[in-house]
Structure 1
Amino acid sequence: MQVPITELNARMVRFRDRLDRTCPDWEVAAITEKINLYYFTGTIQDGLLLVPRNSDAIFWVRKSWERAIKESQFPDIRPMASYRDAASATGPIKNPVHLELDFVSIAQYGRMQKHFSFTGPIGVDAHVAAVRSVKSPYEIALMEKAGKIHRHVLEDLVPDLLTDGIDEVSLASALYAVMVREGHQGIIRFGMFNEMLLGQIGFGMSSVNPICVDTPGGISGMCPAVPMAGCRERKLAKGDLVVVDIGCGFEGYQTDKTMTYMFGEAIPDDAICVHEQCVAVQDEVAALLRPGAIPSEIYTNVMNGLGPEFKKGFMGYRNNTVKFLGHGIGLWIDETPVIAQGFNEPLQERMVFAVEPKKGIEDVGLVGIENTFMVTPDGGRSLTGTHRGLMPVF
């Protein structure tokens, strides 16, 4: 399960090349966020990856150096008790250092600055994200495995879990067990320190309950202290719409998929019509996922083609809407670029996006769909199946 050394070397080369092109005066980059460390070194340990411009990178590990050596093929892994050890070996950094400003705390920055004596810092987050956004064939293979598990569970196995009177938490628990049994890594990861076991699972209007996450859907949650996993009191009944919006991970790499189910009987015809319109939007966006396409232009053109009535509450419910149609995905569920305004760099082959057009409907819940697509010259290729949603479970 080790990340191959050829893969690690290629990632570092791309990272250095990007800094050379965009930051011609850079001297050293310092990486500390655990998923970025995994991306560049192949292990998640408490440490500091120093990438000097004119010498080889060194991964300084506080804990556990022994595990890092066992798990990683990174060529230079050294133990440290604190940043003092790394600074003593490398010397002071005279120019501003490139740091992950989204993740380095003020206290951590102070400790680093104390020992390395650098000025600055300058943000490196966007550069790491840009390198990570284009997946290698190795990464695509892992995402394809995640997508295969995802499709099988949501399309083939979930219907058997839907029984009259089951509550949302019990469904989430049963689904988690099935996902892990089928190969899910047991956790999904988001940027900005967030992790979850699965995602959003809800019956009817629970699926549009407002939450703190920037997503078109929602969830009731167990209580104010734990606003996730579903509601114990909300039980499945005939006529309910069931929404399962979850991630699936395999060896770190994730796909995102939403499936909807009609339990006992069909939802109203007008809601089915809205769902079909959402599926058509997904298909339109997916067809545009080609190298050279501009994400912001995809967003603007697709949104401009929607009718004013349909756009009311689109990508959410009532006023709780989001301003995107899809998002990058990989080691995090929420990567860049995003199919939204402000993302103006051309798409590249093997970028991967979760496309999720959805809309909340009064007294029904969240209709719509989500699948994960890889950018190809022929348009987006789904990694998570092609089912159109609203699966009947009668």
Structure 2
Amino acid sequence: MQAKVPQSELKERLRRFYARMDETHPAWELAIISSKVNLYYFTGTIQDAILVIPRNGEAVLWVRRSHSRAVDDSHFPQIRPMQSYRNAAEALASIPKTVHIEKEQITLAMCQRLRRHFPFDQVVGIDDVVAYIRSIKSLYERELMERAGTIHRRVLEDLAPDILREGMSEADFSSELYSVMMREGHHGIVRFGMSEAEFIHGLTNFGESSIYPTFLDSPGGNAGMSPAVPLLGSRERKLKKGDLVFCDIGCGYHGYHTDKTMTYVFCGSLPDEAVAVHEQCVDILDAIVPLLRPGAVPSEIYRTITDSLEPAFLENFMGYGKRKVQFLGHGIGLEIAENPVIAKGFDEPVKEGMVFALEPKKGIKGIGMVGTENTFLVTPNGGRSITGSHPGLMPVG
């Protein structure tokens, strides 16, 4: 089992939480964190639990199940068992009228259950506070992401091409790719920053399947197994000569992710027009990379790049048809698609320690989704890729 998250890490994360809350919510008195990824970030364990953080007092992780596992997992200093939220509430000297919670994560039913024992009048969201803290990665976190990036590069640039063979289905490719990823050290799932979003890896498609509509906030598409399981890939769509293979997947190591897209051309070539579009997407990524410096403003990067593109190119850029995303890249860490985002409205300057996945892509009728994606650490000299640098359209066969 992986070594526990260092106690110094947990202490620093909580210190930054208090500081950010004092800055953005100066009247706060009590915060409660309940979502599993945020619990892991602050305590080093994922259990059925709540983290109760009083402004004037010690934070306590109250665990319903499993307390013994939480103690085994974590260096968090205060881990206590509970039968119900009543135990956590009774341990507080007083309960304020306003409690700060993750409004984007908590269900109404859970909020009502909390209120039975924490008789607050109103709630205030702290999702933006936690997102900001998580966006700046420590050296410990960056080292884990670098390990994920090393696995990711090897899988997609060195090993995945050998999996492709004529007549295999998208589902075959997905399952065999997953086996290779696990062998190389992938932690087994990919977490997205949205509700009910844990997948095996991401989008793996042949041809126009990669522009088929999907619920994911992603430029690429995916027909999937069926309406009930719009993931992985179709059993019916088989690989044939001349196909574009689109592979947009996450890879994780001990909780932390990288994001990377590779495209392959199987036993043939694409039309010159499609190659030119792909190369322009690569040029766009190359233009963003030097801008990823501390102090840069994500919304200004987005505007600078999009304003430089011709109207004709913007058609089907970052998607296909009416299904287009409004960003050029996104933060990444414990989840794929974290803040900040290279998009309008993200006006707070970039900090050293942030990590972005950049993914300029464009859908082409009859071909599929071309473009590229890699994950970059912010440095004083611009972005540094931790997932390789192959531009894509790798010939196979």
SS of residue in 2 equivalent to 1:267: coil
| Structure 2 Cα separation of the partners of residues 270 and 93 of structure 1 | 64
Partner residue, 1:351: 354
SS of residue in 2 equivalent to 1:205: helix
Alignment of 1:102-113 (within 5 A): 102-113=104-115
| Structure 1 Cα separation of the partners of residues 286 and 59 of structure 2 | 43
Counterpart AA for 1:235: K
1:184 to 183, 186, 191: 186
Following superposition, the deviation at residue 119 of structure 1 comes to 2.2
What's the CA shift string for 1:46-90, capped at 9, x where partnerless? Answer: 111011111110000000000000010000000001001111111
Counterpart contact for 1:92–1:117, Cα < 8 Å:
no
| Structure 2 Cα separation of the partners of residues 235 and 143 of structure 1 | 34
Alignment of 1:140-151 (within 5 A): 140-151=142-153
| Structure 1 Cα separation of the partners of residues 156 and 106 of structure 2 | 37
Following superposition, the deviation at residue 39 of structure 1 comes to 0.1
| Structure 1 Cα separation of the partners of residues 117 and 325 of structure 2 | 43
Partner residue, 1:269: 272
Partner residue, 1:312: 315
Counterpart AA for 2:25: C
| Structure 2 Cα separation of the partners of residues 21 and 320 of structure 1 | 38
Partner residue, 1:96: 98
Alignment of 1:132-171 (within 5 A): 132-171=134-173
Alignment of 1:213-252 (within 5 A): 213-252=216-255
| Structure 1 Cα separation of the partners of residues 273 and 352 of structure 2 | 38
Partner residue, 1:175: 177
Is 1:381 the counterpart of 2:384 in the alignment?
yes
Partner residue, 1:334: 337
Following superposition, the deviation at residue 91 of structure 1 comes to 4.1
Counterpart contact for 1:92–1:116, Cα < 8 Å:
no
Partner residue, 2:304: 301
What's the CA shift string for 1:150-173, capped at 9, x where partnerless? Answer: 000000001100101111000000
Percent identity over paired residues: 57
What's the CA shift string for 1:122-169, capped at 9, x where partnerless? Answer: 001000000000000000000000000000000000110010111100
Q: Give the TM-score normalised by structure 2.
A: 0.98
Structure 1: which 4+ aligned runs deviate by more than 2 Å? Answer: none
Kindly report the root-mean-square deviation, in angstroms, between the aligned alpha carbons of the 2 structures: 0.7
Partner residue, 2:256: 253
Counterpart AA for 2:375: T
Counterpart contact for 2:31–2:100, Cα < 8 Å:
yes
Alignment of 1:190-201 (within 5 A): 190-191=192-193, 192-201=195-204
Counterpart AA for 1:64: S
Following superposition, the deviation at residue 382 of structure 1 comes to 0.4
Is 1:363 the counterpart of 2:366 in the alignment?
yes
Counterpart AA for 1:328: G
Counterpart contact for 1:374–1:380, Cα < 8 Å:
yes
Following superposition, the deviation at residue 286 of structure 1 comes to 1.4
| Structure 1 Cα separation of the partners of residues 55 and 236 of structure 2 | 57
Q: Give the TM-score normalised by structure 1.
A: 0.99
What's the CA shift string for 1:231-258, capped at 9, x where partnerless? Answer: 0111001100000100000000000000
Following superposition, the deviation at residue 309 of structure 1 comes to 1.0
SS of residue in 1 equivalent to 2:63: strand
| Structure 2 Cα separation of the partners of residues 23 and 321 of structure 1 | 35
Alignment of 1:6-155 (within 5 A): 6-155=8-157
Partner residue, 1:288: 291
Q: Please, which runs of 5 or more residues in structure 2 have no aligned partner?
A: none
